[in-house]
Structure 1
Amino acid sequence: MTQPVSTQPVSTLPVSTQPVSTLPVTELSFPSTAAPFADVLSGLVRLLAGLLRLEPQQIDPDQTFRTFGFDSLLSVEYVAVVNAHHGTSIEASALVDHPTPTAFARYVAGERPRETGPVTASSVTARDPMHAPVPTPPPGPQGLPVLDVLREELAHILYCDPWDIDTKAPFYALGVDSTRGTEFVAVLNRVYGLREYAVTLYGHPNLTALADHVTSLLPVDADVRAAGTAPAG
């Protein structure tokens, strides 16, 4: 059966005359998620700024990671820091589907373990490794030059004999990809109490250059020597 069609002019159809500003909006607000997202975004921006050696205010969260110069190495490193910060297990490939800090923050907010208490800006800062107190560097392996220590540690990662590693060969020629590079720098930081990023391998592209760099960061110590430096005496 054909339904009768209203002939009432559209302009006279009943509409709400209540001002938009006074319409109820409680069903459209999300107080339980808005604050955590803002804190997650703020934290991710700080982590990104630390990784890029920038100030947080220099980061536009709506710019793509590619704009910030991200490659596979930086992606792996950044996501590893985010996972350590938030207790997540996010893959670096997530940055492809969530290509800006804002988009990535929304994803991270949904992946975080449920908090036992409210997430606040102060609690995020407290867990922020970029603002945590710098630990006192432990002494290096007794009596070993930095170069020998780094060659030994890299050999463990590459599953080869330390003396098969040419200390002047570029890391890429030794088979150090982004994942192995991140692992190697993490070991370096643990051994010497440093806070270097995987991108350090770009500026110091072989073991000899890296050993010189690490030595320059360490306190003067007779047991921590640069490559080729003989003990005094």
Structure 2
Amino acid sequence: MSFQDQTLASATSDAAPAAVVAELISLLADVLKVRPEQLDPGLTFRSMGIGSVATLQFVSVVNAHYGTGLKPTALFAHPTLLAFAGQVAREAGVVEERETAPPEPATSVTPDATQDILGFLRERLAGILGCEPAALDPSAPFNLLGVDSIRGAKFVAAINDAYRMNEPAVTLLDRPGLAAMAAHIARVAKAEGPPAADGPAADEELGALLDAVRADRLSVDEALTRLPHQA
């Protein structure tokens, strides 16, 4: 099953707060004795090789952390971390709390600036995914566009390099869509004007860092910190 197909199943439930997704990734990583960045929240628990013992341990840890009474069978009803996070959020009452959170303060960002950034993001992500920019819906969540952990790391690296930012890999969880990411960049980016085009040397170095992430020699966040900013 493709990454898109796996995440479509979880999309039928209410979207979970990014903080809950991140916490569940951390809890599951502790159970499996792996690093959190090695876990893709869009993959099914079965495809990650989680057996009955790990299932019992994970659900027990989640219940202790959130004060919930979830059964191990909840992982069968919600077979990905994204889908399970939605159920955990509802059981723990986190969804309502998130909905009443105050909005981000207004800024003087112009619509034109945001649109320029959105255009760049669509082109860059389209290049990473191997599709046309017009095929990418700015309001669609990144996971439904086919952005997995490796593609996400490459995309965030491109954003950091182009706009002189230092965003962590999980920024795509907090701003799950091109439009939301463009608005965030317009508020906080230090660069003025359109970003410079990538050069061959930058592409080669980025490729080497991504190879290191795939080979588990570097974490995603470690790779992002090693990317040089272009002049």
TM-score category (smaller protein) = 0.3 to 0.5
Larger radius of gyration between Structure 1 and Structure 2: 1
Q: Which has the higher helix share?
A: 2
